[in-house]
Amino acid sequence: MPSSSIDVWVVLRRSSVAAEDAAALGAALRDEAPAEAELLLWDTSSGDPLDAVAQAAGRAHRATKVFVERDLTDVPPPDAEAAGWTSQSFADLGLDAFARAMLAAGEGDAFSTTTPETASDDVTELVAYAGDAFDPARWLLVSDAAGPVGVVLPQPYPDEPGTGSLFYIGVMPDRRGAGHGARLHLLGLHELAARGCTRYVGSTDERPGRSRSTRPPEGGPGRARRPGPRRGSGCRRG
């Protein structure tokens, strides 16, 4: 089993877990996973009893993430507020400053394992996953007159022409609750469409205003597992 020094445990299930098995799975996780560890339950079907597993493990449910797809051939225009935004790109800021902006936008994200010490390395991993399709001018820190609004990383998949995702999207903590997440998301979709993408695959945290990323563990950083919608649940020892 993993050592007690591990901070995040990820549970992958390739088939549905029967309700009667949820207690046993939760008990095993309770006994083996360190109390301070974050537990991520990744679901590949719609019927898995995520909450029951978490409860049996002695964990409190914190967040659910849903994976989605959409067509990009008819993306609505940005609203007037977003039209007044300014942006600085990865190319403008450089790796370390851009990583710090992403870290700030990710505060409170139940699915993030990034720390100040790993922020630049984590962004470097995302760049590697973008491959030949990486364009540093397209990963953006967006601001308005009140300061930074958030970060969005529109990214076509290098191995699937016409399909893209938002490798990361996050709203700064002091700017949440004002609709900026939806505006950032729409901006990212426009960027993808401008780069020739006609299909979007990605994820959303069901809590409004929270950071969002397409970083399921079995797909690696920045890659959504692409057949169909699914859910992931983040929880901590209650």
> How far is the CA of 79 from the CAs of 29, 83, 85, 170, 184, in angstroms?
46, 6, 11, 18, 11
Any domain includes 50: no
Any domain includes 170: yes
Any domain includes 24: no
Any domain includes 51: no
Cβ atoms of 156 and 133 within 8 Å: the answer is yes
**53-81 as b/e, with b when 16 or more CB fall inside 10 Å?**
bbbbbbbebbbbbebeeeebeebeebeee
What is the domain count for the chain? 1
Tokens 């563990």 locate to 217
CATH number at residue 178: 3.40.630.30
Mean pLDDT of the chain: 77
Distance, in Å, from the CA atom of 195 to the CA atom of 176, rounded to the nearest integer, reads 28
Q: What is the pLDDT of residue 223?
A: 30
pLDDT in tens, 191-235: 999 999 999 988 665 544 443 444 333 333 333 333 333 334 444
Question: What residue numbers bound the domain in which 80 lies?
Answer: 70-220
Note if the pTM is more than 0.75. Answer: no
pLDDT in tens, 104-147: 999 887 667 788 999 999 999 999 999 999 999 999 999 999 99
Any domain includes 26: no
Any domain includes 97: yes
